[in-house]
Chain A
Amino acid sequence: MRKILIATMAVVLTAGASLFGASAADKLKVGFIYLGPVGDFGWTYQHELARQALVKEFGDKIETTYLENVSEGPDAERSIEQLVRAGNKLIFTTSFGYMDPTLKVAKKYPNVHFEHATGFKRDKNMSIYNGRFYEGRYIQGVIAGKMSKAGVLGYIASFPIPEVVMGINATILGAQTVNPNIKVKIIWANTWFDPGKEADAAKALLDQGADVIMQHTDSPAAMQVAEQRGAHAFGQDSDMAKFGPKAQLTAITNNWAPYYNQRVQAVLDKTWTSGDVWGGLDSKMVVMAPYTNMPDDVKKLAMETEAAITSGKMHPFKCPIVAQDASTVECKGGTHLDDGQILGMAFYVKGIDDKLPGK
């Protein structure tokens, strides 16, 4: 009986292996794990665009596979392992919550290269990468400060984590450079994705007198509300101009393609090493969508700000940074806050008339 079982298993395994592996003995197989559906018009969509760019760039030198809608948790580990077994040698796991599962699988398969987005744990075969989205937020702040007639910005936030807090602070610091008295109303949606709630939040902010909406949630709902109400808004992750042709001022778009190209090339050249990349405007990982629906002088100012940040002449968190309680934040990075301080940001800067949840 046992022999029969083993024989059957062998047959099944060979059949399975030939199904997965036959076509591409010499091709590099690249796998992707996505959090949402590829058509979410936000976070996952941008990763998918980068995957498509890879296919275009490398043609038949590589073969790509993606798994979408993979929830963060035990499911992720299984999915990553599935990609490994299917012969993928380079695997991108594209959400914060995949950090531990990726690390676990990475330890098990030292010959496979892993790339994890937005996390902080590394290994010799596991790199991490993220975008400096706060640079884009600063530019948005400058534009918003100029564009808001009421002097009140509306900010739809998701969860009070450093990534979101640094975005709010960068926005206000940018806005203060053009309007020192700028006010911001912040609504925490306590979700990344709930179009109905995001729309409700946008309506509430507009009803309370804000006239420029910014968001750190994922759907284009707020953009649509702004469009309907004749207000302005900024896109999130993707260019959302389609949903608000008259409303969108610009959008921070996540451009992963250059990084993905570089990493695939490195594996092909056998020069891949584990790294930690936090790319901003200069490396084109963060790209601003076209500046639209604003007067020329604002557009010019926005482009100058973008150029200054890209060249390193300007830093959104330039010292001195004064916190909400009027204390000056220690300046560990010389002329600006250092990366550690930004990554762990848990305070509001002066000028925000609200309390950070949990403080």
Chain B
Amino acid sequence: MGLLEAIILAVLAASTPLLIAATGELVTERAGVLNLGVEGMMIVGAACGFGGAWLTGSTIIGALCGMAAGTLLSLVFAMMTLGLAVNQVATGLALTILGIGLSGLIGAGFVGEKITTAPHLYIPGLTDIPLVGRILFGEDAFIYLSLALVISVWLFLYRTRAGLVLRACGDNHVSAHALGYPVLRIRMFAVMFGGACAGLAGAYLPLAYTPFFIPGMTAGRGWIALALVVFSSWRPGRLVVGAYLFGAVTILQLHAQGAGLGIPSQFMSALPYLATVIVLVLISRARTGGSTAPAALGTVFVPDR
């Protein structure tokens, strides 16, 4: 395995959890709900995903457990912000704190246990193609599924009527409501989708990345996913670019250090975040017209009877 191939494989693995979590959050935000609890849903997804896989020995069941846990936690958020019209920012932050505590409790029983990592695909013929075979056909299924997920979300948002309605709820909930669409129900589904994705992204960490569970193992990836949604200006295509860019800078800075390039490591560690800021500036400079954020993002909607 050449160095370049090794780097690309590491980048793919590092980017995938960010991409999955950010895709979920993108849909949530497109429906007009700002859920800052991604980190909390991810870590609970990691705990439950590991637990599921450890008990059953199945990666798929682990992934499903992670998704279920993320969805359940997101329902708590939906109940508060949609049902009781509580402030979304405060609830999201509370959700993160709750998730971190809850995951420690859930995971206490299997800290220090280990599982086998998610199996890598092997397609005879294709995986053996030199250079590209391993990258395109030889990694764990999550990597390819995450790309399929983004494409599906893009198709849904821009090519289906339901997607149009969801975006309408995010841009102007009063009009959507006036047209007879069930704004709160649509938002609830969007929040649940976001929760399931965050749970899956969290589960990816113990299932495929580092096959054990330790409290706090998401180490801030949920926050990066949130930043990526803004970075992408709420567009799935740019989200892919952003996630891989972020993953690439993260991995390349490690390699640059190992190779002894002599660039200060603190600067290198800050580089991914710096790149995010720079791209944000470039995007906002290149844009004409108003903000790209969903117009009703983060605002509470209480339907008049």
Contacts and interface: CB of A to CB of B under 8 A. Distances in A.
Given A196-B209, A219-B214, A204 B112 contact: no
Contacts of A197: 219, 250, 254
A187 B219 contact: no
B210 to A, nearest CB: 4
Given A40-B214, A194-B219, A224-B210, 6 more contacts: A188-B257, A190-B269, A200-B254, A201-B258, A204-B257, A219-B214
Contacts of B255: 204, 207-208
11 contacts: A40-B215, A186-B257, A187-B258, A195-B217, A196-B217, A199-B209, A199-B210, A200-B254, A204-B251, A208-B3, A208-B258
Nearest to A154: B258
B301 to A, nearest CB: 36
Contacts of A186: 257-258
Contact of A193 (B6, B216, B266): B216
B138 interface: no
Given A37-B215, A207-B7, A243 B114 contact: yes
Contact of A355 (B205, B258, B262): B262
A221 B3 contact: no
Nearest to A355: B262
A200 B217 CA distance: 14
A37 B7 contact: no
Contacts of B205: 195-196
A53 B264 CA distance: 43
A204 B254 contact: yes
Interface in B224-278: 250-251, 254-255, 257-260, 262, 264-266, 269
Contacts of A243: 114, 212
Contacts of B68: none
Interface in A174-191: 185-191
Contact of A221 (B210, B216, B259): B210
A110 interface: no
Contacts of A260: none
Nearest to B108: A39
A157 B104 CA distance: 26
A224 B210 CA distance: 8
B212 A39 contact: no
Interface string A209-226: 010000000011100100
B264 A358 contact: yes
A208 B214 contact: no
A39 B110 CA distance: 9
A63 to B, nearest CB: 23
Nearest to A196: B209
A205 interface: yes
B163 interface: no
Contacts of B210: 195-196, 198-199, 219, 221, 224
A340 interface: no
Nearest to B14: A200
Nearest to A218: B214
Interface string A24-41: 000000000000110111
A242 interface: yes
Contacts of A339: none
Contacts of B217: 195-196, 219
Given A41-B112, A190-B266, A196-B205, A203 B10 contact: yes
Contacts of A210: 258
A193 B217 CA distance: 8
Which are the 5 A-B pairs with shortest beta-carbon distances? A39-B111, A188-B265, A194-B219, A207-B6, A204-B254
